[in-house]
Structure 1
Amino acid sequence: VCAHGNGVCVPFVTYNVLAPSLISKDWFPKSEENVPGSTTPEVRWPKVRGYVESAIKAGAVIALQEVQRMWADRLLKLFEESGYVAQCTKRDKSTSPCAFRQSEAPVMGVLLAWPKAKYTWTESQVDIKTLVPHSDPSAEYARARNRENIMVLARLKSTATGAFLWVATCHMPLFYKNDVDKRAQAIHMYLALSFLRYLATSEPAVLVGDFNLQPTTPQYAMAAEGYA
């Protein structure tokens, strides 16, 4: 993805790294059959690192989903050594770029990273479920209020041009089994876009991530058209 703002082209890369706790030979038997051990974190990590390194080489703004504690420290070290700033999901008041409560080791988060030399920045995050109105008692709103979906945002200022750009990433809930699920997912997508647009006002803004959507769905059309 390349977003144009004030004549500047900014490369973006978004990548779901597939959380180690969700990958097993039982879930991906063909992969295990073709390459024994390919579902283990030890075999997968060099490939994940290679993808991230290629994005770093391109100077891209990078968004990752399904980041778990097992790989978070490795990713942060890689970004730091590469001159990148990285921020990801925080579930406590730690000042660390990524923070998980000790009881939540398997929990997934999202991560946003950008080249330190190219931008100055401010960053924040919001749990989209907290934006869902409590005044509506319908089933889809109740479903949307009960699903955590933390969005990490950054306002980047180009050190070369002074132009501002907002970028955000999230991992939309996998809601698809019935109409209530689909409407709840649409609520999350609408609120993510609306909140980003509210913060950005007239400045360029890009939302990247794993949205768990098919191209034929109304939720996808909403995201693709930038409606908020």
Structure 2
Amino acid sequence: MTVRPCPALFPAAAALGGSQRFALPPPLPPPRGPEPRRRALLLALLVVALLLAGLPAPAGHAAGVAAGVAARAAASSGAAWAAAGASGDAPGAGRAWPVGGPGGVRGRFEAPPKPWAAGHRGVDLAAPSGTDVRSAAPGVVTYAGLVAGRPVVTVTHQGSGTPPLRTTYLPVAGSVPVGTAVSAGQVVGQLAPGTGHCADDCLHWGLLRGERYLDPLALLGAGAARLLPLGGSG
């Protein structure tokens, strides 16, 4: 195509004289519609979704899930362990009254509403001083000595949940060394005179999980059946 420049607009070209050929630039591509942009956006969203799917759960959420699993495991193992003492009058093969029997209960467990509040953190069983005191369930003697000037024996019961249950016997002069494995009904000491819980001699029998006090009669099916930590902060 021949284009003749206008002398008024293109004086340099006119000075060259005659006509001059000019090559027109190639046509511009048509404008892109919204469809390619939409496809690019969808592709980006898909990549982000795939990346998020492979990320680990937030630490707080993971810790909460782990704590819930551990609590359910402790509840299951504790309930199964407690099930051996199905009857308060006739304990199962893995349970025994520390002294006497159900007729000798002088004072029942009363859970304190708060750790520092008043309550009766165990069960009082009538028995004269010098009576043999037996472990209520299989376990290991983990303490035998004085607490606040009174002799105490503690037996820890493995397989009873996390943390494991512990039974305490007060005032009892221990007769087996710490670390000794004992069976249900095995003698762990002799009842010493005076506890401060009874007008006459008696055994104060306690049950704990960690620092929480529970009803010892639950081991024999004669008290509160709940062997998990008490609810709330108390």
* TM-score class normalised by the smaller sequence: under 0.3
Q: State the TM-score, normalized to the length of structure 1.
A: 0.22
Between Structure 1 and Structure 2, which shows a larger proportion of strand residues? 1
Whichever of the two has the greater Rg, that structure is 2
Structure with higher RCO (Cα < 8 A, 6+ apart): 2
